[in-house]
Amino acid sequence: MIDKFVPDMYAQSIYRVNYKKLASLGIKCIIFDLDNTIASVDQDKPSKEAIDLMFEIKELGMRPVLMSNSGRKRVEPFRNGLEIDSCASAGKPGQRNYNKIKEIYKFSSEQIECVGDQFLKVVLGANIAGMTSILVNKISKKDRFVTLFNRFLEKIIILILGSRDLFKKGKYYD
Ligand SMILES: [Mg+2]
């Protein structure tokens, strides 16, 4: 069970991921988390850097998709600004919307990579779905209120993973 929390890759931020390598490995779709992955919880529209990154990913022949547990009102300005498809109120790590994305775009789990800052949402959700996962450090210290309990659980998960040499904070790998 605990191995379901081990990310396949770990990068400092979404800007430190080798997307060219992912494309060469056959990844066709990258599912991005929003809060604290693409933007801090205080930001209400995407940065130029994020917009450029989505463009770059499309140029590599992959489809970026935004998938967030936040509501439509929060997600919409990012969907529009980044010019990518999105799924709001996604219910991660629940599997319904992972399946929906596979169905809509006709990708297999092996062709999908999930990127985000939370073990309990992104890493667990992707691993259950049979997709690969990339953990990134959260953008800012500030979290949504609903996330605070998950961060507490995350600390315990990191301790357990650390004791088994499965994960160490700041020790990036790909
Ligand atoms: Mg997040």
Ligand 1 centroid vs 120 CA: distance in angstroms?
Answer: 10
CA of 157 to the centre of ligand 1 (A): 16
> What pTM was estimated for this model as a whole?
0.95
Looking at residue 144, what is its pLDDT?
84
Residue 51 inside a domain? The answer is yes
Residue range(s) defining the domain that contains residue 131: 2-163
- 58 CA distance to ligand 1 centroid (A)? 22
Cα-to-centroid distance, 51 and ligand 1 (Å): 18
153 CA distance to ligand 1 middle (Å): 15
- Residue 139, domain member (yes or no): yes
Res. 152 pLDDT band, cuts 50 70 90: very high
Q: What CA–CA distance (Å, rounded) separates 35 from 21?
A: 25
* pLDDT attached to residue 94: 97
Q: Is the predicted pLDDT of residue 64 greater than 90, yes or no?
A: yes
CA 134, CA 115: separation in Å to the nearest integer?
A: 5
Residue 90: which CATH number? 3.40.50.1000
Q: What is the pLDDT of residues 4-54, one digit of tens each?
A: 999 999 999 999 999 999 999 999 999 999 999 999 999 999 999 999 999
Q: How far is the CA of 70 from the centre of ligand 1 (A)?
A: 9
Residue 35 CA to ligand 1 center (angstroms) comes to 4
